[in-house]
Structure 1
């Protein structure tokens, strides 16, 4: 029976989450993805594309700022497809702000999406996996943003909440190892997905010694390895997959 994978943050065609959906579908996994404020036709387009590969695919629009979001996702995936064995937390909230602009509202919005929903999805997924355990192994991958690699000026709320994901991932991996679940974090580095402008690309390109900026599929290939059989022995790691990105 095919493994079922949850992937959050699949709101745009060029997102990392979308690339992950495609890669895991190629591995024969059934796909359950979440999105927020996507175009009217995009979710159906992706569901049709994934279904044509021969696996099942369902999507759910959900606001990860809401406290009940994680529970709603886990309930819906069971109703639509079954018990998940893979969880990929790609969704994130990011809003620039330096120390003069940091306030409770900005912190709370980042916390709700980048920490609370991620943490509740991880722990809810693990409890469900333990309760319904089969012979298959489980995997969790949380996306980080290289906040441990150097300063990220004017992104205080973002880097603080993303940094918490790294610490959470390392400790959760130890807790879940006995359940057969590996837990890792992936830092994809600057990725030309949904946020880069021409000016940003021109600024970043010289910092990539491989001669190109990271693409969503670069992260997706690594994630597909970590959740596959060949990556099972890797757990509790934050893997920096940045193509040699030079932080100067």
Structure 2
């Protein structure tokens, strides 16, 4: 792949609020490849999570990307509100151009199981993990007017490789993303858009306690836990011209992780 394989392309990445996160790593990598970047974030969610977030992290990410010599815009947005999704894509087009690459990275995740799951919490998972992913992909595809080069890349979590205990709502809704990827790939192939999903496996984005890291490390034959940059490199390839023949795939990029 050439160093500027995405020059003159625009990439929209959702869920890039935290500098240690996968979304931020993807945004930096696609910028390195020459793409102009538009990323979304939603600090209200991260503030409530154990890992937290600094208020200026999105600003720092934007500045880092602009220093790479490409354009970068950001927007704080709640993707659980359907009306925000069309407004988002219109804003990307207005500030940059109709996007060539969509990375559905934003997610919602809380611990729950069959004993305590209720409709309200299940709906919150569905709204972000599935509905927003599907609607963003749909509106992205409807607006895409080029003959080829469109890319939709979803973030999956390996739901079909093993159970995720105490994350039943997350597992159910993210598992649906795999099914969506396969069906949407067939529908969008005639429009010159590929659709793939990436399962990065357990990735150290700042949420892992040391005890958990020690337990997970034993299951990685390469002797380290996954990094956000590992995912970003794969997304970069899938976004490139070199990946034009790959579509409808769920790629488990887990470094040999053994469940």
Equivalent of 1:48 in 63, 83, 91: 63
Q: Are residues 1:163 and 2:175 paired? A: yes
Instruction: Confirm or deny: 8 A CA contact 1:144 1:163 kept in the other structure.
Output: yes
Query: 1:209 is matched with which residue?
Result: 221
Displacement of 1:135: 5.1
Structure 1 residues 135 and 180: CA distance shift in structure 2, 3 A? closer
Are residue 18 (structure 1) and residue 30 (structure 2) matched?
no
In structure 2, C-alpha distance between the alignment counterparts of 1:81 and 1:197, rounded to whole Å: 40
Secondary structure at 1:207's aligned position in 2? Answer: coil
Deviation string 1:80-135 (CA, Å, 9 cap, x unpaired) is 11110100011110011111101101110000000111000000000000xxx235
- Give the corresponding residue for 1:29: 35
- In the other structure, the counterpart of 1:120 is 135
Gaps of 5+ in 2: 1-6, 44-52
Q: Secondary structure at the match of 2:11?
A: strand
Name stretches of at least 5 consecutive residues in structure 1 with no aligned partner.
Answer: none
- Alpha-carbon separation, structure 2, partners of 1:94 and 1:194: 15
Partner of 1:173: 185
Please tell me whether the aligned partners of residues 12 and 194 of structure 1 are also in contact (alpha carbons under 8 angstroms). no
Say how many residue pairs are matched: 244
The match for 1:232 among 206, 220, 244 is: 244
Cα distance, 1:240 vs. partner? Answer: 0.1
SS at match of 1:185: strand
TM-score (normalizing by structure 1): 0.96
Partner of 1:104: 119
Partner Cα distance (2:20, 2:130) in 1: 23
Q: TM-score, normalised by structure 2?
A: 0.92
Structure 1 segments of 4+ aligned residues over 4 angstroms from their partners: none
- Give the drift of 1:69: 2.8
SS of the equivalent of 1:66 reads coil
The aligned counterpart of 1:76 is 91
The CA RMSD over aligned residues, in Å, is 1.1
